[in-house]
């Protein structure tokens, strides 16, 4: 790291500049004596943090000033909260005690600082998110909701300035933020902060997707702005004509909400049409608010055709967090659905600043939903027997409809897809745990392996050394990881059993004086209508083919031998293909439904999902999947046309496929470290092998990696090409295989 050059005078000037900006932000709420109290808190924070710096190298005092400014400007909190925000790290990071705080600022400030100090350790670097810690954080609501609001301001500033943190810390903070802080901001009505927290989390957790959506939004910005101008102009004219003073504008949807829609509907960015919403903010009096909102609604729906199923009336029945607004969706001039949100200035302030604005307008508001919600939390917390996990549902933690969050007994957080079972959870913990799982305790109650988990469940896996994966497990697990591990275990188990069957069959054929060779094994497989010799060995080991069956085969052997060899093989191939193809198609589907089909991915070309592929029926090794541009493809198709089957991939998720990359370029110090960092850290891709040779400053290397599909591979190649010194990255095939 480069040495920091510090200009103390410039820093002092900047600190004062930021402090004055803070005072301007809270000017409207300041009363007599408030400014003096804020100055005292600022001086104490400045002295306490004088020798401390952030990861960026900036003076630490920048952080508490920024948190105080967010509390004042973006949440609308008053003097007490601003003082607490300035002092929120003083007790934890310095020798200053709560007694000192109380002596200088009184009991109320000391109590809030105490609450902030207690929850600062909730997510320490050595622990995962725990339900009990979630409960601990909410306990502060029972005392003073400002603790949570200041904590949200603290988290928002940390997220805004996270680029200097190590990658693992970025991911940890982002995960906590999207799981706990963003939903909490939503529940408290802080929609702008909630959206920013989600976007910032995504920026670090889904970096490429975030940048891609951001880039595409910028590309169409001018086009969207023109559409909004054309859309709102008629509305503005009619509103003014009817004496309604209103601000009408377009508001872009957050990147996170766009990504959520893309995931939920499985559509690309280009098919997300509601990239913005129109807001109408009416300047109204308390007694005219409702009628003015409905007047504006009438004007909008006279100009544009509404979708009657998309009207949301939170003016008559506000949300529990105080949110009031009329939402409708109308057909725009170009046949595009547009969301329109109608609210008054008061309603908008509550929508933007949530809880704090709610209290400001409390006397004139008839809504008490937010008060009831806070009261409910307090009542729940008074009960010492209440399970901390019971809070999860009340806070609607499942932001993503297709994801749930599950806790281990020690409080670690595991993310799974919707409808995941106890067995999926076990495999997510570890392959061996999943393979030996016999049941689970969900929230301390015994449940079967197939039990569908709910968001916030705490799961303890029960295992037995006598357990092994069963084929029927594939009927209820949903994660790709669990399915892949079960299939792999079943194949391995079948292989072991088949090995025993091979020895048994060899002995039995010897006693019947039948030569043990590949030709006779092939004939036996055909006779018993089996797709491979492995199935033959397996059935012998399981006792499904006994000596009596073999004698019956022997009696018909001569008839079989009279058939042409090619004809026998063609018949057997057709029989096999009929058993593996789908009913309405002549195409072999590779993927989710392949657990009962004996197939392998050919080593000669290492196909991965996204490649054009075909199946080749081997004599004793099931079906091999090859790429259509495989070096062996032409030979196989020319000589064994009847053994070729059309094939394509089904949806693959999280399964790993081996492929090779050849990398060339100019040799550089630390090159291998840079390449492995991209592969292992940035892409979380497992490597099987890496070899790099260097000659006269030029290097050539080959890397065998496990990827999910062609898109995953293309993204990896693109990233590797950006490494300094790398001139080319190409996928390569493995060895030429013999047809069998």
Residue numbers annotated as active site: 92-93
C-alpha–C-alpha distance, residues 491 and 596, integer Å: 9
Is the distance from CB of 439 to CB of 448 less than 8 angstroms? yes
Specify which residues 625 forms β-bridges with.
Answer: 601, 615
C-alpha–C-alpha distance, residues 353 and 484, integer Å: 47
- How many CB atoms are located within 10 Å of the residue 283 CB? 12
- Residues recorded for the chain: 740
C-alpha–C-alpha distance, residues 578 and 363, integer Å: 75
Residue carrying the six token digits 């390449």 = 675
Is the distance from CB of 178 to CB of 205 less than 8 angstroms? yes
Q: Closest Cα to residue 281, out of 244, 332, 328? A: 244
Residue carrying the six token digits 């990827």 = 707
- How many CB atoms are located within 10 Å of the residue 76 CB? 25
Is the distance from CB of 48 to CB of 96 less than 8 angstroms? yes
Is the distance from CB of 79 to CB of 71 less than 8 angstroms? no
Q: Which residues of 218-234 are buried (b: 16+ CB within 10 A; e: fewer)?
A: eeeeeeeeebbeebbee
C-alpha–C-alpha distance, residues 618 and 518, integer Å: 12
Q: Which two tokens stand for residue 719?
A: 């990233």
C-alpha–C-alpha distance, residues 531 and 705, integer Å: 31
* 3-class SS of residue 53: strand
* 3-class SS of residue 639: helix
* 3-class SS of residue 2: coil
C-alpha–C-alpha distance, residues 306 and 295, integer Å: 15
Q: Which two tokens stand for residue 137?
A: 């954080």
* 3-class SS of residue 586: coil
Is the distance from CB of 328 to CB of 306 less than 8 angstroms? yes
**Rounded to 5 degrees, what are φ and ψ at 236?**
-55, -45
Cα-atom radius of gyration of the chain, to the nearest Å? 33
State the distance between the two ends of the chain, measured CA to CA, in whole angstroms: 58
C-alpha–C-alpha distance, residues 409 and 680, integer Å: 29
In sequence order, which ranges of 88-206 are alpha helices (DSSP H)? 90-93, 98-105, 107-120, 131-143, 146-160, 167-176, 182-187, 191-205
List of E strands, 559-621: 588-590, 599-601, 613-617
* 3-class SS of residue 625: strand
- ∠ CA 710-712-715, rounded to 5°: 105
Specify which residues 414 forms β-bridges with.
Answer: 406
Residues 6+ apart with CB under 8 A from 471: 490, 595, 596
C-alpha–C-alpha distance, residues 323 and 342, integer Å: 12
Is the distance from CB of 688 to CB of 700 less than 8 angstroms? no
Q: Closest Cα to residue 285, out of 245, 226, 251, 327? A: 245
């Amino acid at each position: 790291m480069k040495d920091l050059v510090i200009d103390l005078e410039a820093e002092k000037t900047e600190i004062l500049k930021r402090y004055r900006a803070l005072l301007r932000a809270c000017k409207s709420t300041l009363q007599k004596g408030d400014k003096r109290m804020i100055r005292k808190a600022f001086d104490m924070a400045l002295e306490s943090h004088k020798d401390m710096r952030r990861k960026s190298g900036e003076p630490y005092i920048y952080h508490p000033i920024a948190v105080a400014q967010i509390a004042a400007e973006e949440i609308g909190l008053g003097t007490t909260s601003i003082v607490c925000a300035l002092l929120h790290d003083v007790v934890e990071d310095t020798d200053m005690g709560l007694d000192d705080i109380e002596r200088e600022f009184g009991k109320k400030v000391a109590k809030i600082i105490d609450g902030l100090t207690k929850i600062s350790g909730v997510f320490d670097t050595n622990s995962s998110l725990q339900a009990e810690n979630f409960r601990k954080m909410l306990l502060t609501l029972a005392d003073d909701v400002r603790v949570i609001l200041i904590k949200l301001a603290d988290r928002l500033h940390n997220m805004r300035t996270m680029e200097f943190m190590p990658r693992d810390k970025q991911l940890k903070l982002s995960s906590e933020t999207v799981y706990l802080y963003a939903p909490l901001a939503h529940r408290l009505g802080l929609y702008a902060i909630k959206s920013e927290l989600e976007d910032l989390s995504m920026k670090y957790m889904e970096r490429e997707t975030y940048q891609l959506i951001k880039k595409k939004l910028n590309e169409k910005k001018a086009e969207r702005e023109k559409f909004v101008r054309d859309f709102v102009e008629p509305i503005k004219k009619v509103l003014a004509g009817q004496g309604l003073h209103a601000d009408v504008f377009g508001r872009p949807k957050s990147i996170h909400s766009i990504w959520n829609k893309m995931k939920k509907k499985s559509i690309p960015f280009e098919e997300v049409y509601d990239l913005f919403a129109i807001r109408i903010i009416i300047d109204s009096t308390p007694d005219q608010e409702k009628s003015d909102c409905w007047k504006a609604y009438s004007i909008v729906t006279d100009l544009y055709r509404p979708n009657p199923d998309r009207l949301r009336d939170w003016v008559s029945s506000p949300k529990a967090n105080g949110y009031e607004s009329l939402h409708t969706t109308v057909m725009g001039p170009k046949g595009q659905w547009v969301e329109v949100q109608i609210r008054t200035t008061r309603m908008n302030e509550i929508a933007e600043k949530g809880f704090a604005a709610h209290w400001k307008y409390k006397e004139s508001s008839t809504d008490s939903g937010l008060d009831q919600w806070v009261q409910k939390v307090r009542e729940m917390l008074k009960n010492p027997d209440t399970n901390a996990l019971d809070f999860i549902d009340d806070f609607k933690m499942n932001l993503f409809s297709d994801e749930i969050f599950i806790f281990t007994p020690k409080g670690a957080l595991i993310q799974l897809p919707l409808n995941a079972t106890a067995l999926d959870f076990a495999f997510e913990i570890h392959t061996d745990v999943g393979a030996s799982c016999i049941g689970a305790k969900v929230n301390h109650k015994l449940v079967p392996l197939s039990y569908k988990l709910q968001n916030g469940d705490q799961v303890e896996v029960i295992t037995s050394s006598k357990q092994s994966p069963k084929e029927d497990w594939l009927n209820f697990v949903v994660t790709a990881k669990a399915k892949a591990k079960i299939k792999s275990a079943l194949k391995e188990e079948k292989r072991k059993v088949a090995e025993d069957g091979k020895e048994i069959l060899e002995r039995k054929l010897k006693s019947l004086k039948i030569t043990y060779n590949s030709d006779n094994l092939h004939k036996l497989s055909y006779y018993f209508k089996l797709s491979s010799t492995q199935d033959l060995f397996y059935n012998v080991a399981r006792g499904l083919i006994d000596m009596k069956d073999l004698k019956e085969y022997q009696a018909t052997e001569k008839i079989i031998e009279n058939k042409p060899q090619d004809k026998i093989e063609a018949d057997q191939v057709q029989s096999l293909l009929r058993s593996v193809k789908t009913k309405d198609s002549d195409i072999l589907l590779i993927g989710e439904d392949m657990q009962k089909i004996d197939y392998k991915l050919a080593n000669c070309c290492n196909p991965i999902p996204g490649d054009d592929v075909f199946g080749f029926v081997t004599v004793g090794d099931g079906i091999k999947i090859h790429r259509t541009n495989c070096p062996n493809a032409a030979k196989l198709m020319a000589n064994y046309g009847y053994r070729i089957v059309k094939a394509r991939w089904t949806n693959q998720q999280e399964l790993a496929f081996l492929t090779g990359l050849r990398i060339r370029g100019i040799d550089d110090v630390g090159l291998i470290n840079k390449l492995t960092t991209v592969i292992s850290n940035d892409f979380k891709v497992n490597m099987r092998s890496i070899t790099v040779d260097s000659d006269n400053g030029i290097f050539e290397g080959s890397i065998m990696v496990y990827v999910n599909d062609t898109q995953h591979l293309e993204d990896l190649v693109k990233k590797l090409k950006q490494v300094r010194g790398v001139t080319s990255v190409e996928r390569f095939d493995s060895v030429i295989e013999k047809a069998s």
